[in-house]
Amino acid sequence: MNSGLLARREARRWRSPGNNARRRNSRGATSAEFIRGNFRGRTLHDVVYVSANAWFAKLRDDLDSEVHEFVLVERDAADGLTSRPETVTDRALEAAKSFPNKRLIVHYMQPHQPYLGSTADGLAFGSTLGETVRRNDLSAAEVRRLYRENLDLALSAVDRLLDSIDGKTVISADHGEALGERERPLPVRFYGHMDGLYMPELVTVPWHVCEHDNRRRIVAEAPAARDDDIDLDAVERNLRDLGYVV
Q: SS3 string of 113-155?
A: CCCCCHHHCCCCCCCCHHHHHHHHCCCHHHHHHHHHHHHHHHH
Q: Does the CA dihedral 237-228-82-40 come out positive or negative?
A: negative
Query: Which of 15-24, 34-43, 195-204, 211-220 has the weakest average pLDDT?
Result: 15-24
- Arithmetic mean of pLDDT, 17-21: 56
pLDDT in tens, 67-125: 999 999 999 999 999 999 999 999 999 999 999 999 999 999 999 999 999 999 999 99
Q: Rounded to whole angstroms, how far apart are CA atoms 89 and 25?
A: 26
Task: Give 105's DSSP letter.
Answer: E
What kind and span of H or E run contains 178? strand 178-182
What mean pLDDT is reported for the chain? 88
CA angle 5, 7, 11 (to 5 degrees): 115
Q: At what angle do helices 232-241 and 55-63 cross, to 10 degrees?
A: 120
Q: Which residues pair with 170 in a beta bridge?
A: 209
Q: Which residues contact 146 (CB under 8 A, 6 or more apart)?
A: 113, 115, 117, 119, 120, 123, 138
Q: What is the pLDDT of residues 209-223, one digit of tens each?
A: 988 778 888 999 999
> Is 236:121 a contact under the CB 8 Å cutoff?
no
Domain ranges of the chain: 3-241
